[in-house]
Structure 1
Amino acid sequence: MAAWCTWRWRLTPSHLEIVSPVVIGSVRARLDRLDEPSSNKVLPITIHGDAAVTGQGVVQETLNMSKARGYEVGGTVRIVINNQVGFTTSNPLDARSTPYCTDIGKMVQAPIFHVNADDPEAVAFVTRLALDFRNTFKRDVFIDLVCYRRHGHNEADEPSATQPLMYQKIKKHPTPRKIYADKLEQEKVATLEDATEMVNLYRDALDAGDCVVAEWRPMNMHSFTWSPYLNHEWDEEYPNKVEMKRLQELAKRISTVPEAVEMQSRVAKIYGDRQAMAAGEKLFDWGGAENLAYATLVDEGIPVRLSGEDSGRGTFFHRHAVIHNQSNGSTYTPLQHIHNGQGAFRVWDSVLSEEAVLAFEYGYATAEPRTLTIWEAQFGDFANGAQVVIDQFISSGEQKWGRMCGLVMLLPHGYEGQGPEHSSARLERYLQLCAEQNMQVCVPSTPAQVYHMLRRQALRGMRRPLVVMSPKSLLRHPLAVSSLEELANGTFLPAIGEIDELDPKGVKRVVMCSGKVYYDLLEQRRKNNQHDVAIVRIEQLYPFPHKAMQEVLQQFAHVKDFVWCQEEPLNQGAWYCSQHHFREVIPFGASLRYAGRPASASPAVGYMSVHQKQQQDLVNDALNVE
């Protein structure tokens, strides 16, 4: 069998069990590439420890995904190395609350085979049985390999200090090799001398650097070359042009629904507006531009995968990529009906999990660079439930293991008075992780920007994570709209200059900002009829667009008063992590100060009245309105 296999293994951090959903995501990507979701051609095998498999909650999250439509892979073989002490638990009663470490498998009714690791023939039999079950019933299966740890947890550990009775027995217990050699001699299969000679020959081969395993021939159908994605810079040009006529055709196609599909009234209104956008009668809102970006990509043969807890509809009722027929409960996805040869558009509402789902999507993106893979948090605040994935894989996986990944994270972020649990995606944490151009952090403020940002991520050769502070109130803000011409002829702008017709010579202050607060500043300035304050948006905070910012600020070279304005508290947001970049692009000798909320342990206040006062104060401070 090995002669016809291609083996792939995931490089794993020391955070136990987190690699399991990464493996499953990688397998699902390969199955989608084969377009055989129930195939036995790709087999996931995960290896667990007895303490970690029951102690780490990500295992339960991963099991919960095992039969979910967007995440199933036809079952996983889960091998538990059960050394009966875990890391070094002195008393087994402290390790778990169930008789067996594999009892967690019962939550998905997975069969569990307990086998004595001292009996290699029994282990081989159980392994074949587990594989047969998995391949037949497409479900997870556990092998509880009951064994022991002869030495300590690490070089400095002396296990007899905490397990004295167990290790008295282990020291007297023969090794599995000795037990099996004695068995072969008793059955007259091989003598002890034969067994010793086999061991010596094997060790000699290892010492000589010889190959000790049979070579196998890789199956090219499972192989994939990453060479087109090597050695790219974030600011390189890419083929972004879509003809206006084709863009209008696509906009019309994804806003047209068969008569047999009865839409809910609010959804029907949204699709009616999108038809008007396609006809040039309305400007594009966020949902219209985002869906059109996906349409252009699948039209060009580029697959798109989008998942999250409300991804089909969108947490804030803006996307509606999936329409639910009100008459019979069936669904219709316009983006799957562009043309016969289109790229696949897959959108999945995920299980209610951040850690395992984000790890899954990371694994998917590392195995399928041609697909635009997107994970959307319900609220950006909840993404820190997956902090291990962000720290150990997304931000540092390429630096540690050379694993490239083009995953997009959409994190709804913005201060609208919804309190400390629904305001902040913790922008500062992502900026703190940024170095060596390891990922991109963007805060798009217009529909055209999100359209071009998503296309850039898919069309460029570079494959690095993209973290997006996506909006909430801007989804329907009357000023946050874009024309079809901006989509057809524009590109993603990492920095956007002043949009009103101000005389640059009369400008005395420049306010720099990102995200929703821009519109608060713009509306207040227009209300005040101010002409001496310019407002500049930084749409990409990392890698910081020094060149673009210098071009934007060139006309304000005489200005000495610069302000960074943000909604987040002083100790959060972009101020601490990015102000050195701000200082590098403002004119020599100019001052830079902060306008925003005071430092706070909580991301936001809990009272709407307090929020509104804080918001007005920071806007007034930035514009210097008494």
Structure 2
Amino acid sequence: GLANFVGKPVSQFFREFEGNLDPSTAHGSGDVKYHLGAEGKFFRMFGDGETTVSLTSNPSHLEAVDPVMQGIARAKQEMLDKGPDGFTVLPVVMHGDAAFAGQGVVAETLNLALLRGYRTGGTVHVVVNNQVGFTTAPEHTRSTHYCTDVAKMIDAPVFHVNGDDPEACVWVARLAVEFRERWHSDVVIDMICYRRRGHNEGDDPSMTQPEMYDVIDAKRSVRKTYTESLIGRGDISLEEAEHALRDYGSQLEHVFNEVRELEKADPAPSPSVEYEQAVPNSLQTAVPLEVIQRIARAHVDLPEGFAVHPRVKPVLERRSKAAAADSEENIDWAYAELLAWGSLLIDGKLVRLSGQDSRRGTFVQRHSVVIDRHTGAEYYPLRNLTADQGKFMPYDSALSEFAAVGFEYGYSVANTDALVLWEAQFGDFVNGAQSIVDEFISSGEAKWGQTSYVVLLLPHGHEGQGPDHTSGRIERFLTLCAEGSMTVAVPSSPANYFHLLRRHATDGVRRPLIVFTPKSMLRNKAAVSRVEDFTSGGYRPILDDPAFAEGGTDGVTRVLLCAGKIYYELVAAREKAGRTHDTAIVRMEQLYPLATEELAAVLDRYPNAGQDVRWVQEEPANQGAWPFLGLWLPERMNGRLPSLKRVSRRRMAAPAAGVAKVHEVEQKALIAEALSD
């Protein structure tokens, strides 16, 4: 397929199998040859025209690429902008029979097929049904009669075809494409065939399927039987068939010998380099006041007669008032987020948001869409900013993580000029998409040179809601951080979150962004920003203690480092304990890449606190940022942290206690420990 349809040179295949690749041309760690994607042109043998063909890079995790490919297709269709039915990009997915029936992401991805935020006008699924899954027989891999029965969930037609009959396969392929073009629906081809060799080059399948492979060994190849059919019908002569076979074989042999004669490069270990995510010095993330006010007006200039829900109307009015230069209203987290998106839309950016309940927000905070109380009509303030603004596309997703995150990652890969965000209902649930995080988001660039701007918004924080509504698993993401693979941030102020989003969308550094977002802090009256924080300044990965902004640092004998909402709890407890003169609280808004220069500059302001620097976190000792920071901070800070101490919950198997009262006792204890001598 890569050679015949994508146009990849055969010599490249041989070089990959022979190992004759120049290590200096490799990108990151690289990957095995079977996983590499490609793009090229398919030229029609008869007739004019050409078709661009892309093969998506994919891991060994079966079917994990399915939603990624759908996201790529959707993004390309919307960039072509052929209208609501302009499905001019055709998604084709190759499956194995055991994987199509057995991998849950297949059903998750099929469920997206007809949804407004995900549809691609139909996908052609080709199941290469070799009637065995590695060494496992069909009766042990599925409970259905056909391996394709899962497609019945969306009423997709299934065409079963004999893989030994090439002309029947071609006929069915044309029928499948015609059906997709006519009905914009998924269609499945079940090509029933066999696997002549084992699952891999060294496997002997006769050990587990002896009778099956006795039959297969006795079968003549499809090439031979089809050639005889063509000769028997008089379509070609025996001499023409033999000449075509010799000619093709000699071409391959010639290329193969050329590749073998090349000097083999000595294997070398892949260097591990912490790529600096250098942001241009000229980058401006602040916006003029007029931009803020334009976005504010869009929240109250509703269509005539539009009946806003009585609980939503005050929110919109507060947003409008907060934009005034002399306003006493502050800007909260949710509005800061909308201001970031709105300002990017005014600049012409496409902004796509998806997630469970993401249009309103799990915590009733966002209200990106306003719904008429009587008619159900929808009004999107961020779609009514300017005549030539970018597209704003918020969608409530299906109840899925694996497929939903994979789709957004794929969309961000294909559309390099869009801000693509996926929000978890609670950060805890992102582990339903762990394969996408591990195989694509964190390592896609290192393995395949495939870059992404995708943003994951993960509500996180210990608030007594139990072990499944507490943690977005900061520790897991930080474990995957190396070579500048992604940015991990825990912003604590609305303005810094605003500048972070704008920087990410405009800095030209194509890396995923993981943001651990607040829950109760959404309504914390201390966690707000003034309008001037948006019209000036920029993103700061380290926030120094504002209590010592004017000096007085010589009296500080203790520095508390922290991230997220615990900052506000520490500030309140410090005030109550009377430690405002000797304890500074510094926020690490960005956990990776480590902002070592900025942190060093802040720590140098407290010359008498060098022996008592404490990392304070809500999470257990074996979770949160500590396993990463406890290892890397002392090493990277050039002796500034000779005895970094940890303040946290004890080591725990689960993220949090299941009883709210236990949570309160633990929270008070760790805050008291942070401020104790």
TM-score, scaled to structure 1: 0.94
Q: Distance in 2 between matches of 1:476 and 1:157?
A: 60
Counterparts in 2 of 1:192-231, with a 5 A limit? 192-209=238-255
CA distance in 1, matches of 2:386, 2:438: 40
Give the AA of the match of 2:530: S
1:428 partner SS: helix
Secondary structure of the structure 2 residue equivalent to 1:190? coil
Query: What SS does structure 2 have at the residue aligned with 1:101?
Result: coil
Q: Is the 8 A contact 2:284 2:538 kept in 1?
A: no
Q: Which residue of 2 aligns with 1:552?
A: 602
- Give matches, 1:430-469, under 5 Å: 430-469=477-516
C-alpha offsets along residues 126-145 of structure 1, whole Å, 9 cap, x if unaligned?
00000000011000000001
600, 608, 615: which one aligns with 1:564: 615
Shift of the 51–41 alpha-carbon distance from structure 1 to 2, 3 Å rule, reads: same
Is it true that 1:417 corresponds to 2:464 in the alignment? yes
| Structure 1 residues 76 and 310, CA gap change in structure 2 (3 angstroms) | same
How do residues 491-506 of structure 1 correspond to structure 2 at under 5 angstroms? 491-501=538-548, 503-506=552-555
Structure 1: runs of 5+ lacking an equivalent:
211-230
| 1:25–1:71 CA contact under 8 A, matched in 2 | yes
* Aligned counterpart for 1:18 among listed residues 49, 56, 64: 64
* Letter matched to residue 277 of structure 2: E
Q: Is the 8 A contact 1:557 1:587 kept in 2?
A: no
Q: Displacement, 1:195?
A: 1.6
Which residues of 2 match residues 216-295 of structure 1 at below 5 A? 233-237=277-281, 238-279=283-324, 280-295=327-342
Report SS of the residue matched to 1:59.
helix
- Give 1:392's match in structure 2, choosing from 431, 436, 439: 439
Tell me what 1:512 maps to.
Answer: 561
The answer as to whether partners of 2:92 and 2:125 remain within 8 angstroms in 1 is yes
Instruction: Read off the aligned partner of 2:184 and give its amino acid letter.
Output: K
1:38 is paired with a residue whose SS is coil
Q: Deviations 1:512-564 (Å, cap 9, x if unpaired)? A: 00001101000111122212110000000000000111111121122121110
Question: Alpha carbons of 1:303 and 1:185: their partners in 2 closer, same or farther (altered >3 Å)?
Answer: same
Give me the whole-angstrom Cα distance separating, in 2, the residues matched to 1:41 and 1:147.
31
Deviates more, 1:415-424 or 1:253-262: 253-262
Question: What secondary structure is seen at the aligned counterpart in 2 of 1:619?
Answer: helix
Is 1:190–2:239 an aligned residue pair?
A: no
Any conservation in 2 of the 1:445–1:480 contact (CA below 8 Å)? yes
Counting only pairs closer than 5 Å after superposition, residues 526-605 of structure 1 correspond to structure 2 as 526-530=575-579, 531-559=581-609, 560-583=611-634, 584-585=636-637, 588=640, 590-605=642-657
Q: Is the 8 A contact 1:605 1:611 kept in 2?
A: yes
Q: Distance in 2 between matches of 1:194 and 1:174?
A: 20
> Is the Cα contact below 8 Å between 1:262 and 1:326 reproduced in 2?
yes
Aligned partner of 2:183 among 131, 137, 147:
137
1:586 Cα deviation after fit: 7.8
In the other structure, the counterpart of 1:39 is: 86
Distance 2:87 2:314 in 1: 44
In the alignment, the residues of structure 2 paired with residue 624 and residue 85 of structure 1 have an alpha-carbon distance, to the nearest angstrom, of 64
Q: 1:589 to 1:288 in 2, by over 3 A?
A: closer
Distance of 1:290 and 1:276 partners within structure 2: 17
Native 8 Å contact 2:560 2:586 kept in 1: yes
Q: Percent identity?
A: 46
Question: Does the C-alpha gap of structure 1 residues 297 and 464 become closer, same or farther in structure 2, counting only changes over 3 Å?
Answer: same
Question: How far 1:172 sits from its partner (Å)?
Answer: 1.2
Q: Distance in 2 between matches of 1:192 and 1:251?
A: 78
* 1:587–1:185 distance in 2 versus 1, CA, 3 Å: closer
Distance, in Å, in 2 between the alignment partners of 1:95 and 1:200 is 41
Contact 1:553 1:586 survives alignment (8 Å):
no
Deviations 1:352-408 (A, max 9, x none): 000001001111000011000001011000000000000000000000000010100
Distance in 2 (CA, whole Å) between partners of 1:303 and 1:59 is 28
| One-letter amino acid matched to 1:296 | S
Of 607-616 and 257-266, deviating more is 257-266
1:284·1:484 contact (CA, 8 Å) conserved in 2? Answer: yes
Distance 1:162 1:544, change over 3 A: same
How far residue 592 of structure 1 moved from its aligned partner, in angstroms, is 1.4
For 2:189 and 2:514, the matched residues in 1 are separated by 38
Task: Decide whether the 8 Å contact of 1:308 with 1:376 is kept in 2.
Answer: yes
1:238-284 per-residue CA deviation (whole Å, 9 max, x = no partner) reads 23242123322323324432342211111112112111212323010
Matched, 1:325 2:375: no
* Aligned residues of 2:227 and 2:241 also touching (Cα < 8 A): yes
Q: Flag structure 2 segments of 5+ consecutive residues without an equivalent.
A: 1-42, 257-274
Match of 2:664 among 612, 620, 624: 612
Matching residue within 327, 341, 359 for 1:312: 359
1:66-122 superposed Cα distances (whole Å, 9 cap, x missing partner): 000000000000000000012221x33102111111111111000100000111100
Cα deviations across residues 496-527 of structure 1 (Å, max 9, x unaligned)?
00111462111110000000110100011112
Contact 1:232–1:461 under 8 Å retained in 2:
no
Structure 1 CA distance, aligned partners of 2:507 and 2:651?
A: 39
Mapped partners of 1:255, 1:379: distance in 2: 30
Question: What corresponds to 2:270 in structure 1?
Answer: none
**Distance in 1 of aligned mates of 2:214 and 2:294:** 77
Counterpart of 1:443, as a letter, is V
Report how far residue 173 of structure 1 moved: 1.1
Distance 1:581 1:295, change over 3 A: same
Q: TM-score w.r.t. structure 2 length?
A: 0.87
Letter in 2 for 1:609: K
Does the aligned pair in 2 maintain the 1:232–1:462 contact within 8 Å? no
Question: Is this contact kept in 1: 2:492–2:565, CA < 8 A?
Answer: yes
Aligned to 1:218: none
CA distance in 2, matches of 1:276, 1:62: 43
Instruction: Report how many residues are paired.
Output: 604
Quick check: 113-122 or 197-206, which moved more? 197-206
Contact 1:134 1:140 in 2 (8 A): yes
Q: 1:380 aligns with which of 423, 427, 430?
A: 427
Q: Pick which of 492-501 and 587-596 moved more.
A: 587-596
Cα distance in structure 2, aligned partners of 1:470 and 1:545: 20
User: For 2:224 and 2:120, how far apart are their aligned partners in 1?
Assistant: 39
CA drift at 1:232: 7.8
Distance 2:552 2:198 in 1: 74
Residue number in structure 2 paired with 1:623: 675
